[in-house]
Amino acid sequence: MSTTLGPVRIREVGPRDGFQNESELVPTDEKVRLIDQLMRTGLRRIEVTSFVRPDVVPQLADAAEVLRRITVPPGVRVSVLIPNSHGLDRALELRDRIDEVSVFLSASETHNRRNVNRSVADSLVGLSDVLERVRDAGMRCEAVIATTFGCPYEGRVPDARVIAIARELIEAGAHEIAFGDTTGMANPLQVRRFFALAREQLPDVELTAHFHNTRGQGLANVLAALDVGCTSFESSFGELGGCPVPPGATGNIATEDLVSMLHEMGIDTGVDLLALLGTAVALRDVVGRPLGSHTLVAGPVAWRS
DSSP E strands, the chain: 9-12, 45-50, 77-81, 100-106, 140-146, 176-181, 206-211, 232-235
Active site residue 230: no
What is the rounded CA–CA span in Å between residue 165 and residue 10? 23
Query: Do residues 92 and 112 touch, judged by C-beta distance below 8 A?
Result: no
3-state helix vs strand vs coil in the chain, percent to 5: 45, 15, 40
Give backbone dihedrals phi and psi of 288, rounded to 5 degrees, phi first. Answer: 70, 35
Helix axes 120-136, 85-92, angle to 10 degrees: 20
Give backbone dihedrals phi and psi of 284, rounded to 5 degrees, phi first. Answer: -60, -40
DSSP assigned state of 8: P
Query: Do residues 165 and 131 touch, judged by C-beta distance below 8 A?
Result: no
Q: What is the CA radius of gyration of the chain?
A: 18
Catalytic option among 141, 151, 230, 243: 243
Do strands 232-235 and 206-211 pair parallel, antiparallel, or not at all (unpaired)? parallel
Report, as residue numbers or ranges, the catalytic residues.
243
